[in-house]
Structure 1
Amino acid sequence: MARNRSIAFPAVAAAVLIAATACSSARHDTQPPPSGEFRKQTLHFATTVGPDDKTSCDVIGDLYTPVDASAAHPVPALLTTNGLGGSKEQVAMYGNYYAAHGYTVLAYSGLGQGGSGCQVYLDSPDFDGKAATRLVDFLGGVDGIAFQDAAHTLPVPAPDYVVHDKTDHDGHSGPHDPRVGMVGGSYGGAVQFAAAARDPRIDAISPMITWNDLSYALVPNGTGQLTGVSTAVPGAPKTQWMNRLSGGSTCRAGMAELCGLRDVVSGNGYPTREQVDMLRADSVASYLGRIRIPVLLIQGEQDTLFNLNEARASYDGLRAQGTETKMIWMSAGHSVLTPEPGSKVGVVDPAVNYWDARQTRWFERYLRDGDGDTGPRFAYYRNWIPFAGDPAAAYGTADNAEVGAPRTMYLSGDSRLTDDRSAVRPGNQDLTTGPGGTELSWTTAPVGTALDIAGIPKLTVRLAAEQPLNGSVADAAVVFASLYDVAADGSSALIDGLITPARITGLQDPVTISLSGLVHRIIPGHSLRLRISGSAEGFDAPSAVHRLTIAAGPEQALVLPVVGS
């Protein structure tokens, strides 16, 4: 597929909720405390991008400069850009806060958005990554990049007031290596990986509510993972999200390839191999090994676009290769834009926003050579914990992301979900996949004490088909797994809107499905319900129709990550 393609996500409020120091220069303790005053200047940047460096793009950005910054007293820098469909104004809060606290901030509109030229790409390292690298050049003192005008006729000199490092993170020494980090959410989160993969001068990043593998995000498969969330076989397309992104029945300008993806999956029920490769190529899953700087991941618990599994995949991969990484699961995401009580959207306020407090300490540590505590390795928001003032009280913390102890619940033939293996009753239940597919469910008894779940549940089932599967993607059986909170009156609610599809090409062995991660309390008197269905709202119904049978037995089990008991 040609690389001159474009795709855009809508601007969403959630996107703005939003030994590394071995390469550092000497400490700058002589810098006086910032006055809090700064100036702001809108600039145009001449960038050249693409795999052949032949695509010229004008990037518009706002440069926030502390009035105290000077060549004698240099300051560190931050880059930030918007979620797709937005602009530099969407991330102005980072400029306003960090410039008032002694950082130079360059907030820019991503390619093809908010006044910047060229088209929108999928945070490709060759396009978006190279554009960010050009801005790092500017912050490092390279002239001939910034201009007052879009025609690039009125040059603006590069800053001489940004701290420089002696070497980059590849150990190379150069004259234009600024101390610089990146912050932002959604598309503005993934671009940080794309930039850091290309530019070893970037010192620390904090990607928020973003993806690990875009093929999983848009066409997720909960089974058959190769590594992280990536699978050899595509899952079920998120038709509802694709329609929102592409503009519905008519194709939004610049969205031809997303519309093409939508049209293919609406006909087949799955994307082509080429489309999967395209999505995965512009995902950190494909180049995670090139990310070697400190990473603070922040993901939303209520996010049906980029779920917690994506952040966990990035976290696990980075930690496994020795990259300094910490992770926060906050309350809101693309699906629910309301953060925890008392928190504020659209401003940076460490006093009331837990993630802001963690980010400010992260950048103090890695951009200012600070020695303060950057917080726990893993933190997750628990909406059942009351607090007043400090939101940190509502966060559970741990040194490991595996905070929940496994608790096995068995699928009984009488539709009960029980943790007593001896109580499982025999029985077969039938399920039909495809348009208008049927559903099955298993429900626990009302819990006597709170059941707190935090992590990624795993479902293992053995399925039998009335007609054998031929092993192809087209003939696969597609099922959807989800968890519900059932009240004492029998009413039920889908937990955080999370549904996990699984495309199954063979039934010789039991199938294990990694459900969407969640943090949820089942309160006393409520029950937990597992539902397996042959179709699901928000997803394209698979074209292949299969009649499946699930027989009760000890190998049919749901494993929950349970904390606190």
Structure 2
Amino acid sequence: MPVTASVCLAACAALLGPVTAAGPAGAAGPRQPGYAVTPLKLPVRAGGRDCTLDADLYRPTGVDAAHPAPAVVTTNGFGGSKSDGSTDAIARAFASRGYVALAYSGLGFGRTGCPISLDDPRIDGRAASQILDFLAGQRAAKNGVRVDFVTKDGPRDPRAGMFGGSYGGAIQLATASADERLDALVPLITWHDLTYALAPDNADRTSGVAGPAPGAYKHQWTNGFYLIGEAQGLLHPRLDPSRGGGAGCVHFVAQACELKKRLNSGRYPSAPTEAALDYARSVSPSSYLATVRTPTLLVQGQADTLFNLNEAAATFETLRAQGTDTAMIWQSWGHSGGMTDPAPGELDLGKGNFETSYVGRRTLAWFGRYLRREWDTDTGPAFAYYRDWAARGPAYAASEVYPVGIPRRLYLSGDGKLVDNPADVATGSRHYRNWRVASSHSESSLAALTKLPNPKPYDTRGTYLDWTSEPVRGRPVDVVGAPRATLRVHSPDAERTQRSDDAADRLLLFLKLYDVAPNGGKTLVHRLVAPVRVPDVTREFTVDLPAIVHRFAPGHRLRLVMAASDTAYFGNRGSKQVTVRSSRAETGTLDLPVVGEGLEGLDDDLP
């Protein structure tokens, strides 16, 4: 992706944390003690290097050795720092509510040493573990500051939680995997598996979130973040020499640099590609969640094409299955929209509206129970999701079970219709052929963060197929969860190349779900796309689309699109014709998780 220096700098300014603070953090709510802020330089050993963490310690008025308080640790999103307007806003918010807060710049960011290592539990997690030693009074900062005012559950065990988003979310899970002393986590809009986040394959998933093959490379997101990381020297002159990277990168560890090079090459032979993806998995929660026992409140954004809802769902299901206390919230905003201007009633970190937002109240309850040990505190339902159509009453619905909804099956008819009765499937076949350049557009990935233009989604005739339902009649159709398609395609061109050792020779296609209004206007739901590296064009395969929370109103129609390409992703190698045949005996299906009144487990009456 050609990203100019100006775009990079704009992205750097925008990606300073889980959100860019809209203004000074307010101390809304009943608890508003003052606090003192002490700058710290914390020496740590991480990844075989000696590094210094740049941190600020927030001590509430009245907190001392005789009156200790639990601590909340927070760190920046990718490209940010301890004082980026968001990370420090989080620290102020918790300090104003009586928690000792510590905000630090993550490894490779701000004035902290060491190269960027992608929240590696063996590096970033170990570094954060040494912060817990500091909070327990077991080690001092370089200026001699030592803490004796954090609540402790043992001589070396501070009562501490973590809060933060995106890059500042995954570090929480990485730290918990490296150090069991953490007591509570609230990671927002973060990843489960970087192989899925950077090169998603939505075909034939058996567990977790990723399919079996390297999928379609998200070159816009990946190269944008790469340039943000490499630009740290421009943003912060005279950096610590320990920040030096490897494998040709200025500020990334060698393995992260090799991963980016492999993805950018567009060539994916099995051995080197698997080595690169193994590294991506090793810095992903998917590889170490078995060691995470800390109570975790997951918050994921619906408007997010970087880390979609499927990522949080996979983490939630893994933690729940192993008995870790966990809950999940699907809020409205994510990397692709709403971060700087959340919907009314949503958590706005720039305003510090914890008491007056649903996610904020859930966060305070989570920390109240697990940090303050207020055991009678109701921490809320197992699963809750924001509904942008709820003009009256609560915006969130909730359930004690996940997934929710009842599958509603639609059939792909040969005449381009989506029908709900297999007897209505028309016999027919249709085909498309990809161009050498992308002919469909879903998004300009960094647009929401950089304020750059983001053209409307489009598809080019002859390079896609679509199937459209009849207008919704009667009650609306509310979809909550991940739609699943079962498909079979025919492509002699792909069949000739799919046994190659290079995964890039296999067929790529892109599924997406539109909402078509009565006037013909169409909306690609949250601009989400499901890339598919078809494992074998001679057999049937399944596709898990990104999860959504969306109402198809009466009069609106559902449209499933299968496109040959997308501007946000690397595409097919060579030109391949794809044919989809339909008959009553052989047809594709689309299963929608539909919720509504009277479905078991749903509750609109939220705290």
Query: Normalising TM by the smaller chain, what interval?
Result: 0.7 to 0.9
Tell me the equivalent position of 2:489.
463
Q: Which amino acid letter does the alignment assign opposite residue 590 of structure 2?
A: L
Aligned mate of 2:19, from 10, 16, 30: 16
Q: Alpha-carbon deviation of 1:508? A: 3.6
Q: Alpha-carbon deviation of 1:268? A: 2.3
1:425/1:342 CA distance change after superposition, 3 Å: same
Supply the distance in 2 between the matched residues of 1:251 and 1:478 (Cα, whole angstroms).
33
Tell me the equivalent position of 1:120.
116
Tell me the equivalent position of 1:146.
141
Tell me the equivalent position of 2:588.
556
Tell me the equivalent position of 2:448.
none
1:444 aligns with 2:469: yes
Question: Which deviations, in whole Å up to 9, do the C-alpha atoms of 1:425-466 show, x marking residues without a partner?
Answer: 111111324634610000111112311111000000111222
Structure 1, unpaired ranges of 5+ = 1-7, 19-32, 148-153, 167-174
Are the aligned partners of 2:17 and 2:80 in contact in 1 as well (CA < 8 Å)? no
1:97 aligns with 2:101: no
Task: Name which of structure 1's ranges 435-444 and 306-315 shifts more when overlaid on structure 2.
Answer: 435-444
Question: Which deviations, in whole Å up to 9, do the C-alpha atoms of 1:279-322 show, x marking residues without a partner?
Answer: 11100000110011111000000000000000000001111111
Supply the distance in 1 between the matched residues of 2:99 and 2:71 (Cα, whole angstroms).
5
Tell me the equivalent position of 1:30.
none
Q: Alpha-carbon deviation of 1:119? A: 1.3
Tell me the equivalent position of 1:317.
318
Aligned mate of 2:511, from 475, 481, 494: 481
Tell me the equivalent position of 1:164.
152
1:479/1:269 CA distance change after superposition, 3 Å: farther
Corresponding residue SS for 2:79:
coil
Aligned mate of 1:129, from 121, 125, 143: 125
Q: Alpha-carbon deviation of 1:71? A: 1.8
Tell me the equivalent position of 1:199.
179
Q: Which amino acid letter does the alignment assign opposite residue 353 of structure 1?
A: S
CA RMSD of aligned residues (A): 2.3
**What does 1:71-110 align with in structure 2 at a 5 Å threshold?**
71-89=65-83, 90-110=86-106
Tell me the equivalent position of 1:326.
327
Supply the distance in 1 between the matched residues of 2:283 and 2:88 (Cα, whole angstroms).
26
Supply the distance in 2 between the matched residues of 1:98 and 1:176 (Cα, whole angstroms).
23
Supply the distance in 2 between the matched residues of 1:137 and 1:258 (Cα, whole angstroms).
28
Q: Alpha-carbon deviation of 1:560? A: 0.4
1:382 aligns with 2:387: yes
Supply the distance in 2 between the matched residues of 1:280 and 1:104 (Cα, whole angstroms).
33
Are the aligned partners of 1:454 and 1:519 in contact in 2 as well (CA < 8 Å)? yes
The alignment covers a number of residue pairs equal to 520
Tell me the equivalent position of 2:359.
355
Q: Alpha-carbon deviation of 1:544? A: 4.2
Q: Alpha-carbon deviation of 1:262? A: 4.9
Aligned mate of 1:512, from 533, 542, 565: 542
Are the aligned partners of 1:14 and 1:333 in contact in 2 as well (CA < 8 Å)? no
Supply the distance in 1 between the matched residues of 2:540 and 2:204 (Cα, whole angstroms).
12
Question: Which deviations, in whole Å up to 9, do the C-alpha atoms of 1:503-527 show, x marking residues without a partner?
Answer: 0131343110000111111111111
Structure 2, unpaired ranges of 5+ = 1-8, 22-29, 233-249, 440-462, 598-607
Are the aligned partners of 2:69 and 2:151 in contact in 1 as well (CA < 8 Å)? yes
1:481/1:269 CA distance change after superposition, 3 Å: farther
Supply the distance in 1 between the matched residues of 2:128 and 2:260 (Cα, whole angstroms).
30
Tell me the equivalent position of 1:64.
58
1:538 aligns with 2:568: yes
Corresponding residue SS for 2:113:
coil
Supply the distance in 2 between the matched residues of 1:421 and 1:66 (Cα, whole angstroms).
65
Q: Alpha-carbon deviation of 1:352? A: 3.0
Are the aligned partners of 1:190 and 1:284 in contact in 2 as well (CA < 8 Å)? yes
Corresponding residue SS for 2:505:
coil
Supply the distance in 1 between the matched residues of 2:104 and 2:160 (Cα, whole angstroms).
15
1:320/1:342 CA distance change after superposition, 3 Å: closer
Using the size of structure 1 for normalisation, the TM-score is 0.87
Supply the distance in 2 between the matched residues of 1:342 and 1:358 (Cα, whole angstroms).
13
Supply the distance in 2 between the matched residues of 1:242 and 1:428 (Cα, whole angstroms).
37
1:268/1:434 CA distance change after superposition, 3 Å: farther
Tell me the equivalent position of 1:36.
33
Q: Alpha-carbon deviation of 1:486? A: 0.8
Q: Which amino acid letter does the alignment assign opposite residue 375 of structure 1?
A: G
Are the aligned partners of 2:217 and 2:569 in contact in 1 as well (CA < 8 Å)? yes
Supply the distance in 2 between the matched residues of 1:162 and 1:379 (Cα, whole angstroms).
32
Are the aligned partners of 1:236 and 1:269 in contact in 2 as well (CA < 8 Å)? no
Are the aligned partners of 1:242 and 1:258 in contact in 2 as well (CA < 8 Å)? no
Supply the distance in 1 between the matched residues of 2:94 and 2:261 (Cα, whole angstroms).
44
Task: Name which of structure 1's ranges 355-364 and 237-246 shifts more when overlaid on structure 2.
Answer: 237-246
1:182 aligns with 2:214: no
Supply the distance in 2 between the matched residues of 1:118 and 1:446 (Cα, whole angstroms).
56
Q: Alpha-carbon deviation of 1:386? A: 1.1
Are the aligned partners of 1:447 and 1:522 in contact in 2 as well (CA < 8 Å)? yes
1:47 aligns with 2:44: yes
Are the aligned partners of 1:432 and 1:548 in contact in 2 as well (CA < 8 Å)? yes
Q: Which amino acid letter does the alignment assign opposite residue 499 of structure 2?
A: G
Supply the distance in 2 between the matched residues of 1:262 and 1:79 (Cα, whole angstroms).
30
Supply the distance in 1 between the matched residues of 2:486 and 2:471 (Cα, whole angstroms).
23
Tell me the equivalent position of 2:217.
237
Supply the distance in 2 between the matched residues of 1:122 and 1:266 (Cα, whole angstroms).
18
Supply the distance in 2 between the matched residues of 1:327 and 1:216 (Cα, whole angstroms).
20
Tell me the equivalent position of 1:401.
402
1:159/1:376 CA distance change after superposition, 3 Å: same
1:98/1:229 CA distance change after superposition, 3 Å: same
Tell me the equivalent position of 2:460.
none
**What does 1:211-250 align with in structure 2 at a 5 Å threshold?**
211-247=191-227
Are the aligned partners of 2:117 and 2:256 in contact in 1 as well (CA < 8 Å)? no
1:444/1:236 CA distance change after superposition, 3 Å: same
Using the size of structure 2 for normalisation, the TM-score is 0.82
Supply the distance in 1 between the matched residues of 2:545 and 2:435 (Cα, whole angstroms).
20
Corresponding residue SS for 1:85:
coil
What is the identity percentage for the equivalent residue pairs of Structure 1 and Structure 2? 42
Supply the distance in 2 between the matched residues of 1:441 and 1:314 (Cα, whole angstroms).
32
Q: Which amino acid letter does the alignment assign opposite residue 36 of structure 1?
A: P
Q: Which amino acid letter does the alignment assign opposite residue 129 of structure 2?
A: T
Supply the distance in 2 between the matched residues of 1:290 and 1:454 (Cα, whole angstroms).
30
